[in-house]
Amino acid sequence: MESSIGIVGSGVSGLHLGLFLLANDVPATMYAQSEPDEIRQGRLLNTVGHHHHTLERERALGVHHWEAAEYGYVCHHHCIAGDEEVRFRGDFTHPSSVIDYRLYLPRLMEDFQERGGELVLGKTLGVEEVNRLSSRHDLVVVAVGRGGIGELFPRREDKSPFDRPQRRLSAGIYSGITYSEPKGVNIHFSPGHGELLELPIYSHDGFATALLFEAIPGGDVEELAEVKYDEDPSAYDRLVLEKLGRHFPMAFERVDSTEFGLWSPRDILQGALTPIVRRDYARLDGGRYALAAGDCHVVVDPVMGQGANSASYSAWTIGEAILADHVYDGRFCERVARRREEFVISVSDWTNLMLNPPPHVLEFIGAMASDKALCDEFTTNFNHPDKQVDVLGTPERTRTFLEMRQSAAAGTRG
């Protein structure tokens, strides 16, 4: 079936969709803001992990250029700091990886072009432009979070509990810190102050460590999101070291302070975002439809590292639905919405839950600390956000899950 799909945005969602369509002989046009080389030379975009299900899609698309066995990592090391520090590890069934998006996105944009995709460069598109575009495409997929374009898709109040950022963020790539063993993403908790995600990233100059500080507003780590790196780089590096020492001992102990510092001035990103879920689709002026994808559809805090995975999952769902149908109307959009709802909304619900963990979630984390199999399951379920919500969604769900687990263990012993 021949069709023409317009994709606004060249992030992971737009690229995975575009490449999926080309692989299935559906013409696709991508509207992007920056050329591949601009992105390569630019500032750090994020520090996002790709989990196994996303890597499997990359393999299927022939764009898994950084083999996870070599570039990836295999576990999560956890540390809850405090008077009674707790450390525990969870292993993945299959490795995940963190590739700097300044490598990843340009390479996939070039794949897209080499495979016959049309890449149109220009300024960020707004609502009006999307309405105009729809006369040239059977369907427009809006897969870009920035700009006013999101207004096409009203906020879903039932799934958007916050009206402000829950964390203030500072992400940077640092030298002078060795990897933990086995190679993993390290999740550090400093109760009351926030989390540090320490990620083994592959970036422009090879392997390094990304530190993503998730600062609770008003806490002692918040400074890292407020102080501007550029104003005094070495003071900022010292501030990071100080916060590591005070709040994140499992990272600090692997730092060589004489070597420690940001890789380069363009390797830092500071900010904050408000989680939001928008409606799946909109009817455009001409009667055709636009689907939201990626950050245009769901914005999650990066604390659980789910954004790219959710965006890629969504892209794949849209691609499969496009192949299976021949008219991209309200029925089509409803089908996409229904098929991605469980996964994508679980990403959002789960992440929002972890930002302000209620007692039953803290209890579950406590259970993981003394039960490696449970922690392995939780870790592998970074691939299954729906299962995370099945287990953590309500106090009853967590209690019943842990009770069933205990009685199954008793049965095995008995």
Residues that bind a copy of itself (CB under 8 A): 1, 325-327, 329, 331, 335, 338, 341-342, 389-390, 393-394, 396-397, 400-401, 404
Tokens 């956890």 correspond to: 78
CB of 407 to a copy of itself, least distance (A): 9
The β-bridge partners of 175 are: 261
State the nearest-atom distance from the C-beta of 353 to a copy of itself, in Å: 13
Of the two residues 189 and 343, which places its CB atom closer to a copy of itself in the complex?
343
> For 101, how many CA atoms within 13 A lie in the half-sphere containing its CB?
18
Please say which residue, 40 or 156, places its beta carbon nearer to a copy of itself: 156
Smallest gap from residue 139 Cβ to a copy of itself (A): 13
How far apart are alpha carbons 215 and 223 in whole angstroms?
Answer: 8
The answer to whether 119 and 242 are in contact (CB under 8 A) is: no
Residues 313/343, Cβ–Cβ less than 8 Å: yes
**Contact of 29 with 117, CB cutoff 8 Å:** yes
Closer residue to a copy of itself, CB minimum distance, 233 or 393 = 393
Min CB(320)–a copy of itself separation in Å = 13
Taking the complex as a whole, how short is the minimal distance between the CB of residue 310 and a copy of itself, in angstroms?
A: 17
CB of 324 to a copy of itself, least distance (A): 8
Distance CA(50)–CA(45), nearest Å, equals 15
The least CB distance from residue 224 to a copy of itself, in Å, is 37
Question: Could you give the CA distance from residue 99 to residue 70 in angstroms, rounded to a whole number?
Answer: 12
| Comparison of 136 and 331: residue with beta carbon closer to a copy of itself | 331
Q: Which residue in this structure is represented by tokens 């897209």?
A: 112
Nearest to 54 by CA among 72, 76, 36, 27: 72
Residue whose CB is less far from a copy of itself, 272 or 402? 402
Which residue, 274 or 407, has its beta carbon nearer to a copy of itself? Answer: 407
| Least gap, CB of 327 to a copy of itself (angstroms) | 5
Minimum CB–partner distance for residue 398 and a copy of itself (Å): 9
E strands, 297-339, are 298-299
- In the chain, count of helices (H) and strands (E)? 15, 17
Angle, alpha carbons 358-362-363 (nearest 5°): 115
Structure tokens at 20: 């999926």
Cβ closest to a copy of itself, residue 372 vs residue 384:
384
Question: Which two three-digit tokens encode residue 186?
Answer: 């390290």
Shorter beta-carbon distance to a copy of itself: residue 370 or 394: 394
Q: Are 88 and 78 in contact (CB under 8 A)?
A: yes
User: Cα 257 to the chain's mean position, in Å?
Assistant: 30
- Cα distances from 31 to residues 22, 103, 195, 242, 400, in angstroms, run 15, 19, 36, 43, 48
Q: DSSP 3-state assignment of 172?
A: strand
Closer residue to a copy of itself in complex, CB, 32/389 = 389
- Collapsing DSSP states into helix, strand and coil, what is residue 25? coil
Residue 262 C-beta: closest distance to a copy of itself, Å:
43
Minimum Å gap between C-beta 313 and a copy of itself is 16
The smaller minimum CB distance to a copy of itself, of residues 2 and 114, is found at 2
Task: Quote the DSSP letter at residue 42.
Answer: S
By C-beta, is 26 or 119 nearer to a copy of itself? 26
Rg (CA), the chain: 21
Residue 252's alpha-carbon distances to 176, 243, 246, 249, in angstroms, are 10, 9, 9, 5
